[in-house]
A and B are shown apart, each in its own frame.
Chain A
Amino acid sequence: MSGAGVRIGAVVRKEFIHVGRDPRLLAVVLIMPIIQLLLFAYAISFDVRHLPTVVVDLDHTPDSAAYLRAYEASGLFDVVGHGADPTAVDTAFDRNEAQVAVIVPAGFAASLARGEQAQVGVLVDGSEPNSARVAQTYSMALNQLYGRALAVEWASTQGVDLGQIGLVEPRLRTWYNPDRASSIFLVPGLMVVIIMIVTAQQTAVTLVREREQGTAEQLMVSPLRRIELMIGKLTPWVIMAFLDIVVIAVLGVVLFGVPMRGDPVALAVGATLFVASCLGIGLIVSAVAPSLDTANMAAFLVAFLPAFLLSGFAFALDQIPPVLEWISRLFPARYMVTISRSVLLKGAGFPEVWPQVAALAAYALISLLIAVRLHGRRA
């Protein structure tokens, strides 16, 4: 083996010993990703399915009861209570017992019998905007459908054939994820976020620790070149990160039914470059941070937050302000989320994801070079 190879090998072995001697670190690297995966994949869902609803029927007629049954039948609104008067709504909202309230005023049936537009009130608690918006949208659609059904019924008694009015019927198809399972959407992105957190956070402190221990100076007074040191430090983490990726991918396929539709080679190449980019960022932080505290804090800023917020793993990037969208391009996570989702869910290969792969390759190379330049500049 060449001199450089032997030296890099020595650093790799040493790094493995460090990890092996620190059981907590080992747990963070190998067990935490699994916990995070299970937590995120099971707990996070964007589908609003059950909206707790109170109904207040002041009309007490078969017509009003039939109208309110439409809410129960919808599957989205869970009728959790029947209020005697509108104050029940305030109480339910204040105690967070319901998010939607439907009030049918007295005279509902009478209005319908007169052929009028019968008024009803739908109240939505806006303090949870996401579900409030869904509640709003679906209650509007429900009322339009119900109103139309009433009109058709009435028309048939009048001998008018409303069937003459052709209707448009939506045929909804959800591509890539037909059941719209959140976990299938989340797992490919989660892989990226978890890897970013684990690797960047750990490498961010590695050079700081060498400096604090004084071993950085010892290494300077040796033929070990800086690039060799970096490669030696990266190799064990690349291996461990890969282990994490494999574990997450296997769990994703086995537990959550994530498909593997595309080219695994493209995914592997992307993942390798991505891991190298994360480590490059970690090393840059490590090279400039004056203390462990600062390194930890900085890693949180450049690894955790961008991976979580600006990767597109859960929050759509085309919906955020342009400035932030631009900033998101400065971090590798978003490219990898695209690759991972395209390959796993959309069946993509190199022809589709090459721009992202290229971006990551450039990223890995540049960040590593910057880290090499910044670390151990002789003062």
Chain B
Amino acid sequence: MAITGASPAAPAVSTQGLTRRFGDVVAVDGVDLVVQRGAVFGLLGPDGAGKSTLIRMLATVLLPDAGEALVLGHSTASEASAITGRIGYMSQRFSMYPDLTVAENLDFFATVRGVPKQVRRERSAALLDSMGLAEFGGRQARHLSGGMKQKLMLATTLMHEPELLLLDEPTTGVDPVSRREFWRVLAGLHRGGTTVVVATPYMDEAERCSAIAFLQDGRIQQQGTPEEITALVPGTLVEVSGADPRAALAALADLPGVGSPHVFGEVVRVLWEGSLASVEGAITTHLRAAGFPTVRVTPTRVDMETAFAVLAEAGR
């Protein structure tokens, strides 16, 4: 039941009951997802959650076993050819020709995607320049470092100015500086109106997204804006410092009103279900009694990492 002749108003991605199995394993299980145009959509989840499978189905590389995915208004199953020219897909592993140079890789994939010669020349120069690859144009792809390889792949997917970018863990294994640069490029694309769907295991990257979905065991656990997600976390997040974190964690476990205690660096973080006013008194009293005289209790903002740790725990 494909919807043809898509209107420009159609969402960038919409899926209904999208399911994919590999043997006995259900990698993606009844996913309903809507990505609005112009969004930077984060697909989050631990390793093996089904992120790659979902992205590859959206990229028309894999066929769904059940359900349907509409990308730019076209069915990925029956109208792949209406989609492929308009999207950019960057797979998790390096997938360029190792014996072709940076410039040759760019030029080949752009030609195949129908970018005219003049435009190819201008764009590849601009892209290589903006990504700091300008001086490596003549280098064979196999001799690039990890971060440069990722940038080359991104540049390749951008040559035909796709309306929708599907990125599968683009920054995994990339150094922090390159990661920041990478997101700077994505932010620029976002401003230019490109829709981006990015899968990532890094929760801090989720904060940079305009909308996110949290995937676990092939199912979407939560979706919304980062604010909406953090708002879902019940209670207040507080940090307990000034005591050995492991010992304090053990002591806090039996205090009523405390949820999801976990060690976070040198501090213990807990969710307090009661009122903000009562939290400091209740915890310090409890810990003093347990032999920790000098603890400090500070409420903090719920970040993505905690939100997902908590929500994942609740989801089990």
Instruction: State the A residues within 8 Å of B (CB).
Output: 3, 6-7, 9-11, 13-14, 17-18, 21-22, 213-215, 217-225, 378-379
Query: Who on chain A is nearest to B80 by CB?
Result: A378
Closest to A225 in B: B81
Asked if residues A213 and B62 are in contact (CB atoms below 8 Å), the reply is no
In the bound assembly, the distance between CA atoms of A103 and B283 in angstroms comes to 117
A18–B99 CB distance below 8 A? yes
Given the known inter-chain contacts A6-B114, A214-B91, A214-B93, please indicate yes or no for A221 contacting B99, CB distance below 8 A.
no
B100 CB to closest chain A CB (Å) equals 6
Are A17 and B99 in contact, with the CB atoms below 8 A? Answer: yes
Q: Are B96 and A215 within 8 A (Cβ)?
A: yes
Among listed B82-90, B128-136, B223-231, B255-263, interface-contacting one: B82-90
A222 touches B61 (CB 8 A): no
Residues of A within 8 A of B97 (CB): 14, 18, 213, 215
Docked complex Cα distance between A13 and B95 (Å): 19
Q: In whole angstroms, what is the CA distance A9 to B114 when docked?
A: 12
Q: Identify 21 residue pairs between A and B in the complex whose beta-carbon atoms are under 8 Å apart, listed by A's number.
A: A6-B111, A6-B114, A10-B108, A10-B111, A10-B112, A17-B99, A21-B99, A21-B100, A215-B95, A218-B95, A218-B109, A220-B59, A220-B61, A221-B60, A221-B88, A222-B112, A223-B84, A223-B112, A225-B81, A378-B80, A379-B61
Which of A6, A7, A221 is the one whose CB lies under 8 Å from B87? Answer: A221
B305 within 8 A of A: no
Question: Is B143 an interface residue when CB atoms closer than 8 A count as contact?
Answer: no
B91: chain A residues within 8 A (beta carbon)? 214, 217-218
Known: A21-B140, A215-B95, A379-B63. 10 other contacts (CB 8 A): A6-B111, A10-B111, A14-B97, A14-B100, A14-B108, A18-B99, A215-B97, A220-B60, A220-B84, A379-B61
- In the assembled complex, B138 has its CB within 8 A of some CB on chain A: no
Name the contact of A11 in the complex, choosing from B98, B104, B112, B156 (C-beta under 8 A): B112
Which of B56, B98, B104, B112 has a CB less than 8 Å from the CB of A219?
B112
Q: Which residue of A lies closest to B166 (CB)?
A: A221
- B113 close to A222 (CB less than 8 A): yes
Residues in A whose Cβ lies below 8 Å from that of B93? 214
Do residues A378 and B60 form an inter-chain contact, with CB atoms below 8 A? yes
Chain A residues closer than 8 Å to B140, beta-carbon distance: 21
Of A213, A221, A223, chain B has the most CB atoms within 10 Å of the CB of: A221
Question: Which chain A residues lie closer than 8 Å to B99 at the CB level?
Answer: 17-18, 21-22
Chain B positions within 8 Å of A13 at CB level: 108
Q: Which of A7, A18, A221, A378 interacts with B63 by CB under 8 Å?
A: A378
Contact of A222 among B56, B84, B94 (CB under 8 A): B84
Specify the chain A residue showing the minimal Cβ separation from B60.
A221
| Shortest Cβ gap from B47 to chain A (Å) | 19
A-chain residues with CB within 8 Å of residue B96 when the two chains form the complex: 213, 215, 218
Q: Write the nearest CB–CB distance from B248 to chain A, whole angstroms.
A: 47
Measured CB to CB, the nearest residue on chain B to A3 is B114
Smallest Cβ-Cβ distance to A215: which chain B residue = B95
Chain B, Cβ-Cβ closest to A6:
B111
Q: CA of A17 to CA of B60 in the docked complex: distance in angstroms?
A: 29
Question: Contact check: which of A9, A213, A221, A224 meets B61 at CB < 8 Å?
Answer: A221
Known: A11-B112, A219-B112, A223-B113. A17 touches B104 (CB 8 A): yes
CB 8 Å contact bits of B107-127 with A (1 = contact, 0 = none):
111011110000000000000
Taking each of A13, A18, A21, A225, which has the highest tally of chain B beta carbons within 10 Å of its own beta carbon?
A21
Tell me the smallest distance from the CB of A225 to a CB of chain B, in Å: 8
Shortest CB distance B149–A (Å)? 12
Q: Give the residues from 193 to 229 in chain B that come closer than 8 angstroms, CB to CB, to chain A.
A: none
Query: Residue on B with the closest CB to A232?
Result: B112
Q: Kindly name the residue among A3, A222, A379 whose own CB sees the greatest number of chain B CB atoms within 10 A.
A: A222
CA distance A129 to B112 in the complex (A): 59
Partner of A378, one of B61, B85, B95, B156: B61
Q: Which of chain B's residues have a CB closer than 8 A to the CB of A213?
A: 95-98
Which residue from chain A places its CB closest to the CB of B140 in the assembled complex?
A21
Would you give the shortest CB distance from B42 to chain A, in whole angstroms? 21
Contact A221 B84 (CB under 8 A): yes
B242 to chain A, nearest CB (A): 50
Give complex CA distance A10, B91 in Å. Answer: 22
CB neighbours of A21 from chain B (8 A): 99-100, 140
Task: Write the nearest CB–CB distance from A341 to chain B, whole angstroms.
Answer: 40
CA distance A22 to B142 in the complex (A): 14
Q: How far is the CB of A273 from chain B (nearest CB, A)?
A: 28
Indicate if the CB atoms of A7 and B95 lie closer than 8 Å.
no
**A217 in contact with B61 (CB, 8 Å):** yes
Q: Which residue of B is nearest A18, CB measured?
A: B99
Residues B95 and A217 in contact, CB atoms below 8 Å apart: yes
**What is the CB-to-nearest-CB distance from B60 to chain A, in angstroms, rounded to a whole number?**
6
How far is the CB of B251 from the nearest CB of chain A, in Å?
50
* 7 shortest interchain CB distances as A-B pairs: A214-B95, A10-B111, A221-B89, A223-B85, A21-B99, A224-B112, A378-B63
Provide the bound-state CA to CA distance between A3 and B61, in Å.
22
Instruction: Select from chain A the residue with minimum beta-carbon distance to B110.
Output: A10
Which single residue of chain B is at the shortest CB-CB distance from A8? B112
Give every chain B residue within 8 A of A220 (Cβ-Cβ): 59-61, 84
Partner of B85 from the list A17, A218, A222 (CB cut-off 8 Å) is A222
Q: How far is the CB of B313 from chain A (nearest CB, A)?
A: 34
CB distance from B164 to the nearest CB of A (A): 11
| Contact residues in B for A7 (Cβ distance below 8 Å) | 111-112, 114
Query: Taking CB as reference atom, which chain B residue is nearest A214?
Result: B95
The answer to whether B81 and A223 touch across the interface, beta carbons within 8 angstroms, is yes
A143 to chain B minimum Cβ distance, whole angstroms, is 68
Q: Is the CB of A223 within 8 A of B61?
A: no
Please report the C-alpha to C-alpha distance between residue A310 and residue B111 in the assembled complex, in whole angstroms: 43
The distance in angstroms between the C-alpha atoms of A18 and B141, with both chains bound, is: 13
Contacts of A11 in B (CB 8 A): 112
B120–chain A nearest beta-carbon distance, Å: 10
- Give CA–CA (A232, B219) in the complex, Å: 41
A222 engages B95 (CB within 8 Å): no
Nearest CB in chain B: distance from A44 CB, A: 37
